[in-house]
Amino acid sequence: MNNIILTQTEINHKIRRIAFQIYENNVNETEVILAGIDRNGYILAKKLKTALGKISEINPILCKVSIDKKNPLSPIKTSIPAKEYQNKSLVLIDDVLNSGTTLIYGVKHFLDVPLKQFKTAVLVNRNHKKYPIKADFKGISLSTSLHEHVNVFLEGEKIEAVLE
C-alpha cells in the first residue's frame, strides 16, 4: 500500500521554505554552492536554485555530486572543480536522509576543501541513521519502520513523495 506523504503543492512549499532557510543562513554571501547528490538530490538542488533566485540576490551555483551508493568508498565526482567551491558556503542536498550513508560520504568528500560554511538539506528526513549526521534544512521528518521505503518523484507527471 502506498501512502502519499507529500503532494506536488506540499513539495513546492517545502522547497520554498528550505530556500528561505538557506537564504537566512547566507544573507551576507554573494554566492552559495548547491551541491546536489546525483539524481533526485541534484533535481532538488535545481529546484532550490530557482526558488532562491526568486527570493534573494544570492547567486546559487549548482554542483552535481556523483556517489556510487552501492560502493560509497569509491571516488566521488563533482561537476565543478574544488577550487570553485573553496572558501564558499556550500549546501549538500539529497531527497531522503535514511541511514545517512550517502550524506556522510558526501560530507567526507567536501571536508578535504576549506569551506566558509557547510550545511545539509533534505526533502524527507527519516529517523534510521547509522551515522551521526543531521539535516540542517529539512522539508519533513518521518518516523517510519525499517521495512518501509520512501520514494520521491521530482520530475514527470506525478511529483510527490510516497511511503511504501
| Residue keyed to cell 538530490 | 41
CATH code assigned to 3-163: 3.40.50.2020
Q: What is the mean pLDDT of the chain?
A: 91
How many alpha carbons fall within 13 Å on the CB side of residue 74? 8
Q: Please give the pLDDT value at position 52.
A: 96
pLDDT of residue 24: 96
In tens, the pLDDT along 34-52 reads 999 999 999 999 999 999 9
Tell whether the model's pLDDT for residue 1 goes beyond 70. no
Cell 533534505 found at: 122
- H-helix or E-strand spanning residue 124: strand 117-126
- Interval 8-25: pLDDT, tens: 999 999 999 999 999 999
Which of 148 and 146 is assigned the larger pLDDT? Answer: 148
* Statement: residue 85 has pLDDT above 80: yes
Per DSSP, the three-state class of 36 is strand
DSSP H/E element including 138: strand 137-142
Q: What is the pLDDT of residue 70?
A: 81
| pTM score of the predicted model | 0.93
What is the SS3 assignment for 158? coil
